Amino acid sequence: MTEKKPTLYLIDASSYMYRAFYAMRQRLTAPDGTPTQAVYGFHQMLQKVLKDKRPERICVVYDPPGPTLRHAIYPDYKATRERMPEDLVVQVPLIKRMVDLLGIPSVEITGYEADDVIAALARKAVEAGMPVVIVSGDKDLHQLVREPHVIQWDPQRDEVFTGETVERKLGVRPEQVRDLLALMGDSSDNIPGVAGVGLKTAQNLLRQFGSLDQVLSRVEDIQSPALRKKIEEGKEAALLSRDLVTVREDAPVALEPDQCVVRPADTKALVEFFQSLGFRRFLDELAREAGDQALAAATEAPERRDRLVTDEKGLSLVLARIAEADVLSIDLETTSQDAMRADLVGVALCWKDHEAAYIPVGHTGEDAGQQIPPARTLDALRPLLEGDRPKKVGQNIKYEWVVLKRHGVELQGIDFDTMVASYLLDPGNPSHRLERIVAEHLGESKLRYSDVAGSGRNQIPFAQVPLEKAVDYACSDAETTYRLVPVLREKLQEAGLLDLMESLERPLIPVLARMEHKGIRIDAARLQELSKTLEEGLRKEEEVIHQIAGGPFNIQSPIQLRDVLFGKLQLPVIKKTKTGPSTDMSVLEELAALHPIAEHIVAYRSLAKLKNTYVDTLPKLIHPETGRIHTSYNQAVTATGRLSSSDPNLQNIPIRTEEGRRIREAFVPEEGCVLLAADYSQIELRIFAHYSGDERLVAAFSEGADIHRRTAAEMFGVPPHEVTPEMRRQAKTINFGIIYGMGPYGLAKQLRINQASAKAAIDRYFATYQGVKRWIEQVVEESRKRGYAETLLGRRRYLPELKSRNRNVRQQGERLAVNTTIQGTAADLIKKAMIDIDAAIRQEGLRTAMLLQVHDELVFEVPEDELDRVRTLVKDLMENVHPLSVPLVVDMGWGANWAEAHG
DNA sequence: TGGGACCCGTAC
DNA sequence: GACGTACGGGTCCCAC
Q: Which residue is nearest to nucleotide C10 (CA to C1')?
A: A556
CB neighbour class for A293 (10 Å; exposed up to 12, middle 13-18, buried from 19): exposed
Residue A1, pLDDT score: 45
Nucleotides of B under 7 A from a protein CB: 6-12
SS3 A392: strand
In angstroms, rounded to a whole number, what is the distance separating the alpha carbons of residues A448 and A436? Answer: 11
pLDDT confidence bin for A688, thresholds 50/70/90: very high
- The domain tally of chain A equals 5
Whole-prediction pTM: 0.71
CA atoms of A555 and A549, how far apart (whole Å): 10
Last residue of a domain, one of A739, A768, A797: A768
- Domain assignment present for A612: yes
Same domain, A348 and A450: yes
Which nucleotide lies closest to A611 by the C1' atom and the CA atom? C9
Output the domain CATH number for residue A142. 3.40.50.1010
Residue A77 counted as domain residue:
yes
- Label residue A301 by pLDDT band (50, 70, 90): very low
Nearest DNA or RNA nucleotide to A606 (CA to C1'): B9
**CA–C1' nearest nucleotide, residue A581:** B7
Domain interval for residue A748:
695-768
User: Is the CB atom of residue A210 positioned under 7 angstroms from any atom of strand C?
Assistant: no
* Whether pLDDT at A260 is above 90: no
Q: Is A256 left (phi over 0), alpha (psi -120 to 50) or beta?
A: beta
Residue A166 reports pLDDT greater than 90? no
Does A699 lie in the same domain as A552?
no
Return contacts of A265-271, CB within 8 angstroms, 24+ apart.
A265/A101, A265/A102, A265/A103, A266/A101, A266/A103, A269/A101, A270/A98, A270/A101, A270/A102
Nearest nucleotide relative to A621: CA against C1': C8
- Encode pLDDT of A303-359 as tens digits: 567 789 999 999 999 999 999 999 999 999 999 999 999 999 999 999 999 899 999
Q: In degrees rounded to 5, what are phi and psi of residue A612? A: -70, -40
With respect to residue A13, please indicate whether it lies within any of the assigned structural domains.
yes
Q: Under a CB-based contact definition with an 8 Å cutoff, are residues A162 and A226 in contact?
A: no
Domain finish residue from A493, A519, A545: A519
| Residue A653 backbone zone (phi > 0: left; psi -120 to 50: alpha; other: beta) | beta
How far is the C-alpha of A451 from the C-alpha of A461, rounded, in Å? 13
Q: Is residue A807 part of a domain?
A: no
Pairing of strands A57-61, A106-107: parallel
Distance A800 CA to C4 C1' (A): 17
Identify the pLDDT of residue A204: 78
Picking from A579-583, A767-771, A774-778, A865-869, which range would have the lowest pLDDT averaged per residue? A579-583
Residues A515 and A529 reside in one and the same domain? no
Query: Which residues face A153 on adjacent strands?
Result: A135, A160
- On the CB side of A181, CA atoms within 13 Å amount to 26
Residue A638 maps to a domain: no
Confidence of residue A297 (pLDDT cuts 50, 70, 90): very low
Q: Single out the residue in A741, A768, A795 at which a domain terminates.
A: A768
Output the distance from A11 CA to C14 C1' rounded to whole Å: 37
Mark residues 601-660 of chain A whose C-beta is closer than 7 A to nucleic acid strand C: 608, 612-613, 617, 634, 637-640, 642, 644-649, 651-652
CATH number at residue A382: 3.30.420.10
User: Is A710 within a domain?
Assistant: yes
Q: Could you give the C-alpha distances from A759 to A326, A763, A810, in angstroms and in order?
A: 61, 6, 21
Shared domain for A353 and A495, answered yes or no, is yes
Identify the residue with better confidence: A299 or A269. A269
In a domain, A583, yes or no: yes
Residues A147 and A283 in one domain: no
Hey, is A482 helix, strand or coil?
Answer: helix
Residues A511 and A533 in one domain: no
CB atoms within 10 A of CB A777: 12
The C1' atom of B12 and the CA atom of A328 lie apart, in whole Å, by 38
Residues listed for chain A: 903
Do A367 and A388 belong to one domain?
yes
Q: Angle, to 10 degrees, between the axis of helix A199-209 and the axis of helix A177-184?
A: 130
Indicate if A371 and A510 belong to the same structural domain.
Answer: yes
Q: How far apart are CA A392 and CA A806, in angstroms?
A: 46
Per the structure, the residue whose CA is closest to nucleotide C1 at C1' is A808
Residue A2 has pLDDT above 60, yes or no: no
User: CB-based contacts with strand B under 7 Å?
Assistant: A 558, 577-580, 582-585, 588, 602, 605-606, 609-610, 613, 651-657, 660, 854-857
Same domain, A293 and A319: no
CA of A226 to C1' of C12 (A): 21
Position A170 in a domain: yes
pLDDT at residue A298 is higher than 50: no
The per-residue pLDDT for A83 is 67
* Phi, psi for residue A160 in degrees, rounded to 5: -105, 130
The Cα A738–Cα A839 span in angstroms is 36
3-state SS class at A30? coil
Contact yes or no for A439/A445 (Cβ under 8 A): yes
Nearest residue (Cα to C1') for B1? A457
CB A577 under 7 Å to nucleic chain C: no
Helix (H) or strand (E) holding A335: none
Average pLDDT, chain A: 88
Q: Are A320 and A229 found together in one domain?
A: no
Average pLDDT score over residue span A794-804:
94
pLDDT, tens only, A829-861: 999 999 999 999 999 999 999 999 999 999 999
Cα-Cα end-to-end distance for chain A = 94
Q: What CATH code is carried by the domain that includes residue A608? A: 1.20.1060.10
Please tell me whether residues A384 and A454 are part of one structural domain. yes
* C-alpha radius of gyration, chain A, whole number: 32
Helices (H), A24-134: 37-53, 69-73, 86-89, 92-101, 114-127
Give the tens place of pLDDT for each residue, A573-597: 888 888 888 888 888 888 888 888 9
HEC sequence for A834-885: HHHHHHHHHHCCCCCEEEEECCCEEEEEEEHHHHHHHHHHHHHHHHCCCCCC
Cβ-based contacts (< 7 Å) between A 331-390 and strand C = none
pLDDT-based confidence at residue A100 (cuts at 50, 70, 90): confident
Report d(CA A591, CA A572) in Å as an integer. 8
Residues 6+ apart with CB under 8 A from A752: none
**Looking at residue A515, what is its pLDDT?**
97
Are A144 and A242 in the same domain? yes
Report the candidate in A418, A416, A299 with the shortest Cα–Cα distance to residue A354. A299
